A and B are shown apart, each in its own frame.
Chain A
Amino acid sequence: MKIVVCVKAVPDPKEADKIRIDPETKTLMRGDVPIVLNPLDKHAVEAAVQLKRKYDATVTILSMGPPAAGNIVKECLALGADQGILLSDRAFGGADAYATAYTLAKGIEKIGEFHLIFCGMASSDGATEWVGPQVATFLGVPVVTMVNEIMDDSNDEWLVKTAWEDGHRKVAVQLPAVLTVAREINKPKSLSFSGIIKARKKEIITWSGDDLGVSPEMVGFKGSPTIVGGFGTLETGRNVEFLEGTAEEMAERLVGILSDSGAIG
């Protein structure tokens, strides 16, 4: 079994409050917020590594990003994946979900045969949840999103459980397929020192646009149909008001404040 896991380097969500938006370019100003593996992608890597143990599968990590994203790929190798591929080219910069999915799909085509592609359900920065389904569309394979359990993987048609409004649904899916995973699918193992040592011998290959044979018009900013109309920062502040009057009057005023602020309907 050959598995590809698509992963993304994102600004550390724990320091999200430090991220600002450039009013001119409408892009994120990360400042010195460190780059980490997208949290949901860690679940995707764990799902793949569990299947590697079960079926002796080969797990390839695929990421698109600047050279610094190589650290994230290395981390995935330390978590148990076999090899890493980083799609890195200045032309890939500024990609929206569509251009990202296109580039990842081209990377997967170059890898060759695959049975399963795992993605995190969403990234913590973009949070569109589009990349996984779009990768599947470009590759012409089925996709199941928000998978929280693999119920039966004993033959080519797998049964998976996914979140569905207030409940869940069971979906039969024919491999090869793309599965985007929710955090409930597993509890990822922690990075271990011995895993990091084992990763020393695992290879990370970098592919450019030329290596993928893609047109610069189809990738990065140029290949992105999304137009950002506007960005805003939610201003939060606090006001102090001492309520006066009888208990009923104060309660009435309190309900009015909460209602005006949108806290209650």
Chain B
Amino acid sequence: MIDFTFSEEQDLFRKAARDFAENEVAKYVPEMEKTGKVPAGLVKAIGKAEMLAITIPEEYGGLELGYTARLIALEEISRISVATAMMLQVFALGIEPIVKFGTEEQKKKYLPGLATGEKLGTAAVTEATGGSDPTGIRTSYRKDGDDYIVNGRKCFITNSHIANTLVVLAKSDENPKDFCAFIVEKGMPGFKATHEEHKVGMKGCNTGELSFEDLRIPKANLLGQEGKGLRVTMAAIGEIGRGGMVGCALGLQAACLEESIKFANDRILYGKPISKLPEIQGKIADMRIDLEAGRLLGYRAASLQDSGTPASNEFAVAKYYTTEAAIKAAKTSVDIHGGYGCMEEYAVTRFYRDAAVLGPSAGTSAIMKVIIGRWALS
């Protein structure tokens, strides 16, 4: 029989993550909305709360709790701040390739610092000419003795300006079918974080551009095999990236539902709360149905990932479903709030803006359908 219940320990993980989100994250949200900047105190709190250590093996200073625990944490944090969950989910995008493809030396060198938050990670794949189709990237590498020289630019990189350990994808300037993934450290000569984006939502989660000018990378920083870098970054994006977006979307759905219920119970119309109106009940029911279904899809995929079964297709389904549902939920929650839904004092306005960023992140819904279609037809 299939067991759909969380274990006692997983319930405690959720409680720990919820406490962290409500007590340590929530207080930074107004500042993030106002400045659009990442509060230093928040990043420190994320490290202290061991949120970066969840998927890192114990022998490298992590907690080795797996991907269901990660999804639980992301959902709970996103319920309070989608921007913080997004930041956290992308830290893991910088961590996972090192866990999966790093040499023993690389793991020992980078993972303990990434587990505590002393170092922050990200993955830099997307460029103006390629993101979901990474073969279109133009950032190139050439060999120079034992080193690699990288030139190019990356865009829409989450944590671009705060990360100090970056997994960067580059294409061979000799053979366009060969790619390399490198561990780049902030401060290496030729590395520069340049333009910072001003997104419509997820304010306070840093997104920007990177520039590499004759960036010299030692051979010791090659991640995986030379020429096989696509596999390194895609493996991380397919499961960690999509899975992370599922966590962000589920948290946002839950937040939309909670705020809508609260408002619908408080707002009096025709002498009674609007929650008594069938039209409002129908909207709230739709949100709840989507949340229940999204959780089943997301946690099933995470459970597969925990068991070592490839789950990138299942995550594509969950990513498509939950991000679309989150966009719908945000719109519905604004609708339920009526005129108040246009006022920034109400959290639903933030949810609406955050939802707009969820769809394109880690692959648009259209790309998810391409992946799911190929899977179904294979």
Name the segment of B7-15, B127-135, B144-152 touching the other chain.
B7-15
Residues of chain B contacted by A75 (CB below 8 angstroms) = 12, 15
- Binding site of A, secondary structure by majority: helix, strand, loop or mixed? helix
On whether the beta carbons of A194 and B15 are closer than 8 Å, the reply is: no
User: How distant is the Cα of A238 from the Cα of B69 in the complex, in angstroms?
Assistant: 45
User: How distant is the Cα of A70 from the Cα of B9 in the complex, in angstroms?
Assistant: 12
Residues of chain B contacted by A71 (CB below 8 angstroms) = 8, 11-12
A-contact bits for B69-80, CB 8 A (1 contact / 0 none) = 100000000000
On whether the beta carbons of B11 and A192 are closer than 8 Å, the reply is: no
Counting contact residues on chain B (CB < 8 A from A), the size range is 10 to 19
Cβ contacts A to B, 18 pairs, < 8 Å: A71-B8, A71-B12, A74-B12, A190-B19, A190-B20, A190-B24, A191-B15, A191-B19, A192-B16, A192-B49, A192-B50, A193-B13, A193-B50, A194-B50, A196-B16, A197-B63, A199-B12, A200-B9
On whether the beta carbons of A190 and B8 are closer than 8 Å, the reply is: no
User: How distant is the Cα of A73 from the Cα of B291 in the complex, in angstroms?
Assistant: 30
Question: Within the complex, which residue of B8, B49, B54 is in contact with A74, where a contact is CB–CB below 8 Å?
Answer: B8
Tell yes or no: B372 within 8 A of A by CB: no
Q: Kindly provide the distance from the CB of B165 to the nearest chain A CB, expressed in whole angstroms.
A: 22
Nearest neighbor of A200 in chain B, beta-carbon distance: B9
Tell yes or no: A101 within 8 A of B by CB: no
Tell yes or no: B175 within 8 A of A by CB: no
User: How distant is the Cα of A106 from the Cα of B16 in the complex, in angstroms?
Assistant: 32
User: How distant is the Cα of A265 from the Cα of B152 in the complex, in angstroms?
Assistant: 76
Nearest neighbor of A68 in chain B, beta-carbon distance: B8
Q: Kindly provide the distance from the CB of A10 to the nearest chain B CB, expressed in whole angstroms.
A: 14
On whether the beta carbons of B8 and A193 are closer than 8 Å, the reply is: no
What is B's interface to A at a CB cutoff of 8 Å?
8-9, 11-13, 15-16, 19-20, 23-24, 49-50, 53-54, 63, 65, 69, 268
What is A's interface to B at a CB cutoff of 8 Å?
70-71, 74-75, 78, 190-197, 199-200, 238
User: How distant is the Cα of A200 from the Cα of B11 in the complex, in angstroms?
Assistant: 14
On whether the beta carbons of B15 and A193 are closer than 8 Å, the reply is: no
Residues of chain A contacted by B24 (CB below 8 angstroms) = 190
Nearest neighbor of A36 in chain B, beta-carbon distance: B15
On whether the beta carbons of B12 and A191 are closer than 8 Å, the reply is: yes
Residues of chain B contacted by A70 (CB below 8 angstroms) = 8
- Give 4 new A-B contacts, CB below 8 A, not counting A195-B16, A196-B16, A238-B268: A75-B15, A190-B49, A191-B15, A196-B12
Residues of chain A contacted by B15 (CB below 8 angstroms) = 75, 191
Question: Within the complex, which residue of A190, A192, A196, A238 is in contact with B9, where a contact is CB–CB below 8 Å?
Answer: A196
User: How distant is the Cα of A34 from the Cα of B352 in the complex, in angstroms?
Assistant: 29
Residues of chain B contacted by A192 (CB below 8 angstroms) = 16, 49-50
